[in-house]
Amino acid sequence: MDLPVSLAILIAFLSSAAATIGGRGEVYFDSVVMFVFFLSASRYFEDMARQRCAATVEKLVQSMPLMTTRLTATGATEEAVAAATLAPDDRVLIRPGETVPADGEIESGQSAIDESLLSGESLPLARGPGERLLGGSINITNPLQMRVSAVGADTVMAEIQRTIERAQADKPPMARLADRVAAHFIGIVLSIVVCVAVFWWWHDPTRWFGIALAVLIVSCPCALSLATPTAISATLGRMQSAGLLVKQAAALEKLNHITHVVFDKTGTLTRGEPALEAIVCNPDFDQTRCLELAATLERYSEHPLARVLVRTAGTRDRAKPSNIVSVAGGGISATIDGRQYYIGSREFISGQTEVEIPAAWQDAIDGDAVSIVLLARSDCVLAMFTFSDPLRDEARELVDKLRQMGKSILLMTGGSKGRSSSGRRCNRDRRLPCAHVSARQNGGGTGTAGRRRSRFDGR
């Protein structure tokens, strides 16, 4: 594309300069400047689109910590080292709030891990000895000792970065076709320009130069060689900023041929932020009092469900608990006004007390419809707090629009149809009419909530 453009600008400028010096003929300085301006502007927008794509990779790189704490073989000595100097089999200490510096396996400690950057899951996942940690995830509650298994280019985060970079460098068939066509097109254009110039030289020598120059300029294949890669770069950047990872640029050309759309639920059709749905209290206890007790306990936790309870209860003064004990992946116990209280998952409450959960609550606890947090004393259960992940405002509109386009909509859930939170949202009130695909189940508590997590093989 640069060849006809450069020739047009150069010829127009030289002829204008000659006309200025000679005092006769047409000058095209204004056209040359305008043409250079528009071409520079288009190149600028193309560069901006590419920079937005590069910013996605840069964001992932910056999520990794620069420094970490390495332990000696005995674990008695700590030293601050650059995360880039870690090697497989090194042992590192990850304190609450710190980012995991590399992929590895937990040797000791239990904590809640935020993997939202890697998996999109909004709630932290409980992790203990023998379980895998991914570099880029964040430790939430308790210190962990981890043995490094993969560093640098061998980590999951590095693979994600390479996938994005490959997509940016990859040219879809349309762009490759444009390059091939443009190469032949240039030769044809130059031949046409020569023929036009010769024709008008014989028929009207006073007009041949202007007409040949106009043909050279308007024949610039901007749509092929500039607009196509710019549109692709802009599309990739826009999709990546929205959380859509494009593995192959060729997939963009196939979007109009898709027949099925499979949605993940958490953070995709839902907001990815838990909200308090209901408070079910024991008839002998007041709802306001139960919420205050829950907030008093949960203000010592960093779990997202705990923050929802604290925020809902407000900022009023509360009693100061003592003997606070936090169990990662379970809950919290503490003494308030001389009595022992517990808040957390069903497993945590059953393990800490011998109280029986009311039969009327059992269906809600056994189902996957919501996340559950129980508040109890040593002699009875006080309240059950249920949480949901609200649908995005535009989710219904999106699903309806795709169905109108003739697409089959599938929802990837962690439970069976009608039992999972996704199932209730699709079937109850028919707010999201779609079919279901059950992913592999991973039961257990997460933080203070006993919530079943869905896993999808082939991350």
Rounded to an integer, what distance in angstroms lies between the CA atom of residue 437 and that of residue 458?
15
Check if the beta carbon of residue 455 is closer than 8 Å to that of residue 414.
yes
Taking only Cα atoms into account, the Rg of the chain, rounded to an integer number of angstroms, comes to: 32
Question: Tokens standing for 327?
Answer: 């169990």
Query: Is 400 an active-site residue?
Result: no
Q: Cα separation of 26 and 82, whole Å?
A: 66
CA angle 342, 346, 107 (to 5 degrees): 85
Catalytic residue among 103, 114, 264, 368: 264
What length is written for the chain?
Answer: 459
Classified as helix, coil or strand, 341 is strand
Q: How far apart are CA 194 and CA 207, in angstroms?
A: 14
CB 344 within 8 A of CB 332: yes
Contact 209, 15 (CB under 8 A): yes
Nearest to 249 by CA among 161, 170, 177: 170
Q: Pick the closest to residue 452 from 369, 357, 362 (CA basis).
A: 369
Give the DSSP H/E element, type plus range, for residue 125: strand 125-127
Distance, CA of 99 to CA of 116 (rounded, Å): 12
Q: Which residues contact 320 (CB under 8 A, 6 or more apart)?
A: none
Could you list the beta-strand ranges (E) of 314-439: 322-327, 331-336, 339-344, 371-377, 381-388, 408-413, 435-438
Nearest to 311 by CA among 324, 298, 330, 327: 298
In sequence order, the β-bridge partners of residue 412 are: 264, 437
What the block records as the tokens of 292 is 């205050």
Q: Note whether 361 and 385 are within 8 A (CB).
A: no
DSSP secondary structure string, 270-336?
A: B-SS-EEEEEEE-TTS-HHHHHHHHHHHHTT---HHHHHHHHHH-S------EEEEEETTTEEEEEE
| Residues annotated catalytic, as ranges | 264
